[in-house]
């Protein structure tokens, strides 16, 4: 029956079917394209969110690592009780976690006029400096500058700074310097400086500086307690017990290394008359002045103590008997020239000293003390205001 359907009708039907199919397929294709584009957008958004989360995780891990690092260095520094040991821990952490050129800790101390000046200095380089690259820094001017500006100071253009040039900080390899005053009880006790620290590390270094400041406070407290325990409150010299311990150590070192060693005993002539005539308050001023005269006329490696009452002692490592005699004479002369000002009184006094030496006079502490004591009282019997060497 289909054979009787005209050809043009069949052709029209086929065209209609083809048109319908094309429209259907085209619509589906468009639908799929739209869905694919939507999926691409979703993937892009997910990738962006993932990247944000990844960066956030990295930042969190970095902050966590920094926090753990700060905790660890705080713990390690807290285990130390000396400036040198604390700065060693600080330096190790600094070199492992920061990019910089040089870092220095300037510990301040006060002189007799209560002015701050440099007491000790600790330094660390990120890389070992080249031979001959060390410059001459005027630390006193640096301290004066930072004390005049007690806030944190960051100078990013060293070459253009007249202040840094005056301090001796200008050189081609230094681009910036950060100075942070460290406070204890509201007073500046040290200054921490670091050169060529990158800007994004300033905040982290500031936190580290705060931790160091806390540890320095602990060191000051420890040293104060330790000093109180081993020094005589009136004269500032060491107490006899601590002096005896150090004397044993020094005798042992001299024996091991074959070194000479000398010992002084000092007694204030007619001190009892001072107390009887002027009272103990004047006597205390005399003792304090004698302690200062002794300190000013011995070396930093020497050690002096208030041995008892008006007697003093001093050990002079690596010093012959002849050398010790010169030191004793200097102390005797300075004392005789000194005017003791106590309240309304003005006094002149003298001292006598005995000198003994290791190993010729004795090889042990009791024998050395006895030899110096014998020399001292031999001198006092001869007329006082004299230095006498022990002779066997």
C-alpha span between 176 and 166 (Å, rounded): 15
In what order do the strands lie in the sheet containing 153-155?
116-125, 102-110, 187-195, 177-184, 153-155
CA 300-298-321 angle, to 5 degrees, is 115
Active-site residue (options: 104, 195, 215, 310): 310
Question: Is 165 part of the annotated catalytic residue set?
Answer: no
CB of 386 closer than 8 Å to CB of 332: yes
User: What backbone torsions phi and psi does residue 346 show, to the nearest 5 degrees?
Assistant: -130, 115
C-alpha span between 26 and 31 (Å, rounded): 8
C-alpha span between 61 and 69 (Å, rounded): 12
CB of 150 closer than 8 Å to CB of 181: yes
Four-CA torsion 64, 69, 71, 77, nearest 10 degrees: -170
Q: Active-site residue numbers?
A: 310
């Amino acid at each position: 029956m289909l054979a009787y359907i005209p050809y043009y009708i069949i052709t029209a039907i086929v065209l209609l079917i083809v048109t319908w199919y094309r429209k259907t397929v085209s619509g589906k294709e468009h639908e799929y394209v739209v869905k694919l584009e939507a999926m691409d957008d979703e993937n892009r958004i997910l990738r962006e969110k993932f990247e944000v989360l990844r960066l956030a995780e990295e930042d969190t891990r970095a902050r966590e690592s920094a926090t753990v690092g700060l905790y660890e260095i705080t713990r390690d520094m807290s285990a130390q009780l000396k400036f040198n040991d604390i700065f060693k821990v600080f330096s190790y952490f600094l070199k492992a976690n920061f990019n910089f050129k040089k870092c220095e800790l300037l510990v301040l101390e006060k002189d007799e006029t209560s002015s701050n000046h440099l007491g000790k200095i600790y330094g660390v380089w990120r890389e070992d400096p080249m031979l001959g690259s060390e410059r001459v820094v005027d630390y006193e001017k640096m301290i004066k500058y930072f004390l005049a500006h007690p806030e944190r100071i960051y100078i990013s253009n060293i070459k253009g700074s007249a202040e840094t040039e005056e301090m001796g900080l200008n050189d081609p390899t230094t681009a910036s310097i950060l100075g942070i005053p460290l406070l204890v009880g509201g007073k500046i006790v040290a200054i921490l400086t670091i050169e060529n620290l990158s800007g994004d590390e300033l905040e982290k270094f500031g936190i580290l500086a705060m931790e160091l400041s806390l540890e320095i406070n602990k060191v000051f407290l420890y040293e104060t307690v330790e000093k109180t325990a081993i020094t005589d409150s009136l004269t500032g010299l060491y107490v006899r017990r601590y002096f005896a311990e150090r004397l044993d150590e020094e005798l042992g070192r001299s024996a091991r290394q074959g070194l000479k060693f000398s010992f002084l005993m000092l007694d204030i002539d007619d001190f009892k008359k001072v107390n009887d005539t002027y009272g103990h308050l004047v006597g205390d001023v005399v003792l304090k002045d004698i302690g200062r005269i002794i300190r000013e006329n011995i070396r930093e490696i020497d050690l002096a103590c208030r041995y008892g009452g008006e007697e003093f002692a001093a050990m002079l490592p690596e010093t012959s008997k002849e050398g010790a005699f010169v030191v004793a004479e200097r102390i005797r002369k300075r004392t005789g020239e000194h005017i003791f000002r106590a309240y309304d009184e003005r006094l002149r006094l003298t001292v006598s000293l005995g000198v003994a030496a290791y190993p010729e006079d004795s090889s042990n502490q009791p024998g050395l003390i006895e030899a110096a004591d014998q020399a001292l009282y031999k001198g006092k019997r001869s007329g006082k205001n004299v230095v006498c060497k022990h002779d066997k």
